[in-house]
Amino acid sequence: MSQCIEIQKVSVGPEYLTARVRIGDGYPLMTNEDLDGTTRVWRLMPQIASHICVGDGGKTFREVMGATELAHLLEHVAVELMARTNLGDDVSYGRTKAVDGVARTYHVQLICPDDVLCVGALSSAAWIMQWAFSGGGAPEPDIDAIVQGLIALVQRITTQEQEKAAFDETVRKQQERAEAKRVAAEKAEREPWTVVPDDMVDQWAEGREDQR
């Protein structure tokens, strides 16, 4: 059987992540076509019921979850996962729209405080949907473990980015020093009378030390 949620394309803008997802063949398009699956998701994270649906005129998700698109449920699962990491804004939300003229295909848009967090939450949400709509069974997704995994993922990437930035900075400084040396060497060749002998520099530095 195919995947419940096929993530076809992800684009990340400054504020939003937009994923184009297709609901796999053989899976229901609407939550009311498999209420057992929908209930499985709700049991894992009952908090989704009190989410506000921005795309639905400010209704709560509770009002629509019994008969809405699976893609919309996916959106709320991803939003809930992101909210639980406490890494994003206090208000996280998304919206879901069917792609015109393409069967079983939707654009799911999520507020994106952090690309890595957002993509991670979306793929974890897809996995939860897969579990819920293919009969449930053991092991049940461990939401706390998934959230901890997302936090660790974001922190790992942040550390890597910081290390990369520190490395780039070191390289930049080395290049600057090498360039300064080259310029000084050129100048020494062109204007040898401007070169201060090293021992004089040492004496000057010592004199400055004494003055402290």
Residues that bind Zn ion (CB under 5 A): 53
- Identity of the residue, 60 or 134, whose beta carbon is nearer to Zn ion in the bound complex: 60
- Identity of the residue, 111 or 116, whose beta carbon is nearer to Zn ion in the bound complex: 111
Q: How far is CA 45 from CA 27, 41, 116, 170, 204, in A?
A: 21, 6, 22, 46, 71
In whole angstroms, the minimum distance from the beta carbon of 38 to Zn ion comes to 14
**58 neighbors 94 (Cβ within 8 angstroms):** no
Which residues fall within 8 angstroms of residue 71, CB to CB, at 6 or more apart? 5, 21, 23, 96, 98, 106, 108
Distance between CA 75 and CA 20 in Å, rounded? 12
- Identity of the residue, 49 or 185, whose beta carbon is nearer to Zn ion in the bound complex: 49
Q: Which amino acid is it at 169?
A: E
Task: Please report the beta strands in the chain, taking only residues with DSSP state E, as ranges in sequence order.
Answer: 5-12, 16-23, 52-53, 59-60, 94-98, 105-111
In whole angstroms, the minimum distance from the beta carbon of 48 to Zn ion comes to 9
In whole angstroms, the minimum distance from the beta carbon of 77 to Zn ion comes to 11
- Identity of the residue, 91 or 166, whose beta carbon is nearer to Zn ion in the bound complex: 91
Measured at CB, which residue is nearest to Zn ion? 53
- Identity of the residue, 53 or 81, whose beta carbon is nearer to Zn ion in the bound complex: 53
Beta bridge mates, 6:
22
In whole angstroms, the minimum distance from the beta carbon of 160 to Zn ion comes to 33
DSSP one-letter code for 9: E
In whole angstroms, the minimum distance from the beta carbon of 30 to Zn ion comes to 14
